[in-house]
């Protein structure tokens, strides 16, 4: 039985995690749940799973929740609430699925309290991969990936050292604008928010769906992989695989390639992270190869999707640059969703902000957060 704290219980990954916990009541106990604003769903989840403690962003809502629930559950609020939950003495693992940078401090707090963490929020490793991984090493805890690609690589690596790896191959669906004949570069300015939200193979949150259309999602995942698996950027590769059945692959130094496959369903990587190192039976995911017929692969088009090269550069240079890429992209995606900029301007904006940044190497957390804030102001100006 694993005692699990779930930060971000009402979002897309959060609700999938709840499903996994309901599938496996004798393996997973939810002892802490934190949500942003969705009081109603948090209340429902709390009634069903009886966690020891919960947290919500707004202190006023926390009071309302405490009144509704009585003394059976401790109710916390805000950033402090996230830290309380991340360090609950009885927790074995903390799954962090909060959008944005809010997950960073709780992740570090959990690690320092000796908890394994399962990371769904990309910002944690993109912004502070160096710090997070060195703290995890120092405290002897695991950083497990919830992202399907990184879960795949983790499973394929099977604890082999990075010296045995020739390349990590992240697969990318290619997003809704993969087809060059249908979507030549000249037509990218016509891409609307509605078109960008039609993802071919995964159902996800808003920000990540836009990121999948620009391929920034894959770019962020390249940087995550670099830190999670302690491998330089030059050995992190991307191949487009529209069916999203091969979740990623490891090419070893002897030329052998090991891949992990299944019908796409986020419940699978979530379950693996929460039950690791065991494999626990579940009927949720079934894969019928005959139904797929063929699995195809193609080279990513970095001319139409410059996000991949921007991310490679950010990962190679390192320091505060990945945090800047991430923050500028967040601002750009929001501007695109508010119809203030066009689709190709998302990448153009990120590139401009990156060019202007003075990189600090081996940054402290304060320097990372400062770079993040700088990039947001700079992006808004651009
Ligand atoms: Mg992914």
Smallest CA-to-CA distance from 307 within 246, 201, 223, 189 is with 223
Question: What residue ranges define each of the domains in the chain, with the CATH number in brackets?
Answer: 2-145 (3.40.50.720), 150-302 (no CATH), 318-382 (1.10.1740.10)
Q: How far is the CA of 146 from the centre of ligand 1 (A)?
A: 9
8-state DSSP, 270: H
Distance 281 CA to ligand 1 centre (A): 23
Strand partners, 56: 35, 77
120 Cα: distance to centroid of ligand 1 (angstroms): 9
Q: What's the gap in Å between 69 CA and the centre of ligand 1?
A: 36
pLDDT averaged over 10-residue windows placed end to end, the chain, 382 residues: 97 96 97 96 96 97 93 95 98 93 94 98 94 98 96 96 96 96 96 85 75 96 97 97 97 98 96 96 94 96 97 98 97 94 97 98 96 97 89
Distance between Cα 334 and ligand 1 center (Å): 20
d(CA 286, CA 10): 26
**What are the respective helix, strand and coil percentages of the chain, to the nearest 5?**
50, 15, 35
3-class SS at 234? helix
Tell me the CA–centroid distance for residue 70 and ligand 1, in Å: 39
- Using CB atoms within 10 Å of the CB of residue 193, give its burial: 0 to 12 exposed, 13 to 18 middle, 19+ buried: middle
Ligand 1 centre to CA of 65 (Å) is 34
Stated pTM of the model: 0.94
The pLDDT value given to residue 362: 97
Q: Give me ligand 1 centre to Cα 149, in Å.
A: 5
Three-state SS at 107: helix
What does DSSP assign to residue 298?
Answer: B
Cis preceding linkage at 367, omega within 30 = no
- pLDDT for 203 equals 58
Distance CA 382, CA 341 (A): 11
Ligand 1 midpoint to CA 201 (Å): 11
Radius of gyration of the chain (CA): 20
Give the chain's length.
Answer: 382
Question: DSSP string of 344-370?
Answer: HHHHHHHHHHHHH--PPSS--HHHHHH
Q: How much distance in Å is there from the Cα of 11 to the middle of ligand 1?
A: 16
Q: Determine the Cα–Cα distance for residues 211 and 219; give it in Å rounded to an integer.
A: 9
Residues 6+ apart with CB under 8 A from 319: 359, 360, 361, 362, 363
Secondary element (H or E) of residue 128 = helix 122-139
User: Measured between alpha carbons, how far is 177 from 242 in angstroms, rounded to an integer?
Assistant: 11
Contacts of 94 (CB under 8 A, 6+ apart): 4, 5, 7, 32, 85, 86, 106, 107, 110, 115, 116, 117, 118
How far is C-alpha 5 from the geometric centre of its chain's CA atoms?
Answer: 17
* DSSP state for residue 375 in the 8-state scheme: H
Q: How far is the CA of 299 from the centre of ligand 1 (A)?
A: 18
Distance from the CA of 225 to the center of ligand 1, in angstroms? 11
Of 32, 33, 25, which is closest to residue 1 (Cα–Cα)?
A: 25
Q: How many helices (H) and strands (E) does the chain have?
A: 16, 11
Q: Pairing state of beta strands 257-261 and 246-252?
A: antiparallel
Task: Tell me the C-alpha distance between 232 and 223, whole Å.
Answer: 9
Contacts of 154 (CB under 8 A, 6+ apart): 144, 145, 228, 229
Structure confidence at residue 208 (pLDDT): 85
What is the C-alpha separation between 94 and 101, in angstroms, rounded?
16
Distance separating alpha carbons of residues 107 and 317, to the nearest angstrom = 24
Q: How far apart are CA 112 and CA 131, in angstroms?
A: 12
How close is the Cα of 365 to the center of ligand 1, in Å? Answer: 25
CA distances from 182 to 93, 142, 191, 214, 315 (A): 45, 44, 12, 16, 31
């Amino acid at each position: 039985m694993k005692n699990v704290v779930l930060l971000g219980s009402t979002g897309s990954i959060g609700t999938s995690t709840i499903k996994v916990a309901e599938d496996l009541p004798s393996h997973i106990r939810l002892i802490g749940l934190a949500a942003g604003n969705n009081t109603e769903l948090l209340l429902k989840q709390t009634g069903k799973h009886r966690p020891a403690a919960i947290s919500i962003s707004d202190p006023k809502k926390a009071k309302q929740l405490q009144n509704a629930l009585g003394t059976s559950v401790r109710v916390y609020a805000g950033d402090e609430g996230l830290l309380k939950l991340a360090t609950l003495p009885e927790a074995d693992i903390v799954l962090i699925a909060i959008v944005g940078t809010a997950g960073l401090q709780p992740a570090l707090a959990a690690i320092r309290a000796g908890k394994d963490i399962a990371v769904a929020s990309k910002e944690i490793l993109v912004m502070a991969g160096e710090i997070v991984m060195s703290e995890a090493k120092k405290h002897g805890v695991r950083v497990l990936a919830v992202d399907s690609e990184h879960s795949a690589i983790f499973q394929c690596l099977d604890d082999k050292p990075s010296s045995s790896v020739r390349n990590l191959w992240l697969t990318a669906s290619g997003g809704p604008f993969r087809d060059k004949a249908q979507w030549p570069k000249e037509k990218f300015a016509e891409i609307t928010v509605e078109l960008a939200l039609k993802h071919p193979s995964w159902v996800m949150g808003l920000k990540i769906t836009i990121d999948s259309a620009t391929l920034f999602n894959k770019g962020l995942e390249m940087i995550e992989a670099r830190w999670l698996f302690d491998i330089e950027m030059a050995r992190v590769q991307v191949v487009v695989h529209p069916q999203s059945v091969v979740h990623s692959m490891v090419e070893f130094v002897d030329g052998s390639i090991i891949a992990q496959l299944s019908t796409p369903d986020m419940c699978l990587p979530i379950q693996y992270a929460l039950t690791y190192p065991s494999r626990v039976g579940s009927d949720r995911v079934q894969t019928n190869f005959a139904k797929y017929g063929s699995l195809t692969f193609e080279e990513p088009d970095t001319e139409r999707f410059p996000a991949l090269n921007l991310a490679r550069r950010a990962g190679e240079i390192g320091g505060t640059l990945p945090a800047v890429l991430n923050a500028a992209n967040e601002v750009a995606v929001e501007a695109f969703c508010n119809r203030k900029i066009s689709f190709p301007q998302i990448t153009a904006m990120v590139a401009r902000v990156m060019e202007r940044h003075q990189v600090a190497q081996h940054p402290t957390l304060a320097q990372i957060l400062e770079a993040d804030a700088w990039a947001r102001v700079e992006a808004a100006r651009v």
